[in-house]
Amino acid sequence: MKYRRYVVNFEGLEKRLGILGEIHLYTSEESKIAESLVDKYDHFGIEGSEKPSLYFSVLRMLILPEIYAHSVVGRSPNNADLESLAKSKNKSVTMLEPEIEKTFSLLQKIALFTYVAISFVSAPFTYLELKKNRKLQKKNNWISRLSNFSIYSNIETRNKIMAQNSIAILRKVDNLLIVCGEDHFEGLERQLRNIIDNSNRAWV
């Protein structure tokens, strides 16, 4: 979990902006950190979309065994994430990728579905490996290359969309915490800096 906070001089007003990079399955300690952050902000921009398409709904169901396999190392869907904590406290939550599916090409969708299907079948082996070694061994093979292509080949496009939508929110509010996966963290921050710096607004 990564967290950075800034004060941004935005259109003549000083505003608080935070970026949280998360692993989407939390440990209990990360849930405590998230709860403390929810108390510090009023508005939240979250990676993803509010109503996933049928394609992404199917992927979510297929990935469940893999998710539960990681509970052996303390990462569990039973640990509250920041989005659920913010909603439970009636904070303002906006999804930053309302049309996320459009950022994936047909080839990427096929690759991602294949990768998730493999994860579904291999979940029992993932569980046993995690139970034995407490971490997954890195695999330099076609499965890892498939994962990298399906997940990362459009990552900068998604970062740019999330940055633009975050700036749209920040125009209307005085504080905002952006929540994204750790792999988006540096790229999203870079996109935000580009937008803000090009508009003669300063980070502090």
Beta-sheet strand order (sheet of 92-95): 92-95, 43-46, 175-181, 13-22, 2-10, 202-203
What span, in angstroms and rounded, lies between the C-alpha atoms of 18 and 177? 4
Alpha-helix runs per DSSP H in 50-105: 54-69, 82-88
Q: Are 41 and 16 in contact (CB under 8 A)?
A: yes
What span, in angstroms and rounded, lies between the C-alpha atoms of 70 and 67? 5
Task: Check residue 200 and give its pLDDT.
Answer: 46
Report helix angle 106-133 to 54-69, nearest 10.
Answer: 10
What span, in angstroms and rounded, lies between the C-alpha atoms of 109 and 59? 10
pLDDT at 134 over 90: no
Measured on CA atoms in the order 53, 56, 61, 62, is the torsion positive or negative?
Answer: positive
Q: What is the DSSP string of 34-60?
A: HHHHHTT-SEEEESS-SS--HHHHHHH
pLDDT in tens, 1-58: 999 998 888 777 888 999 999 988 898 999 999 999 999 999 999 998 888 888 889 9
Residue 13 in tokens: 């007003």
pLDDT in tens, 59-109: 889 988 988 888 877 888 889 999 999 999 999 999 999 888 888 889 888
**SS3 of residue 131 by DSSP:** helix
Task: Check residue 60 and give its pLDDT.
Answer: 87
Q: Are 163 and 189 in contact (CB under 8 A)?
A: no
pTM, 2 dp: 0.84
